[in-house]
C-alpha cells in the first residue's frame, strides 16, 4: 500500500481467530447464531486479537485501510 502512495496503512482481520468455530456452528444447525454465546465469544476474540499483528493470519479475510498521500 505504501508503494502505491498510500499513507498509514492498517490491516484488520475481519473474522478474527475464532471464525472456524463460528463456521462449524453455522453449518451444524446454527439457527440464532447471532444471539448465541459462541458468536459473542468469537466477537470478543476478534476484538482482543485486533491490536496484535501476529494474529492477523488467524482470520480468513483481511481488510486494509489507508489514506491518500
Residue 1 lies in a domain: no
Element (H, E) at 3: none
15-32: b (≥16 Cβ within 10 Å) or e: bbbbbeebeeeeeeeeee
Q: Which domain holds residue 48?
A: 6-68
Give pLDDT tens digits for 21-48: 777 777 776 666 656 777 788 888 888 8
Residue 16 lies in a domain: yes
Residue 25 lies in a domain: yes
* pTM, 2 dp: 0.63
Q: Is the pLDDT of residue 7 over 90?
A: yes
CA neighbor of 25 nearest in space, from 13, 47, 41, 44: 41
Q: What are the cell numbers at 54? A: 501476529
The number of folded domains in the chain is 1
Residue 42 lies in a domain: yes
Residue 53 lies in a domain: yes
Q: Is the pLDDT of residue 67 over 80?
A: yes
Name the residue with higher pLDDT: 62 or 29. Answer: 62
Amino acid at each position: 500500500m505504501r508503494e502505491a502512495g498510500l499513507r498509514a496503512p492498517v490491516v484488520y482481520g475481519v473474522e478474527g481467530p475464532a471464525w472456524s468455530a463460528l463456521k462449524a456452528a453455522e453449518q451444524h444447525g446454527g439457527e440464532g447464531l447471532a444471539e448465541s454465546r459462541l458468536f459473542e465469544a468469537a466477537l470478543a476474540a476478534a476484538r482482543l486479537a485486533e491490536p496484535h499483528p501476529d494474529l492477523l493470519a488467524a482470520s480468513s479475510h483481511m481488510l486494509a485501510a489507508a489514506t491518500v498521500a
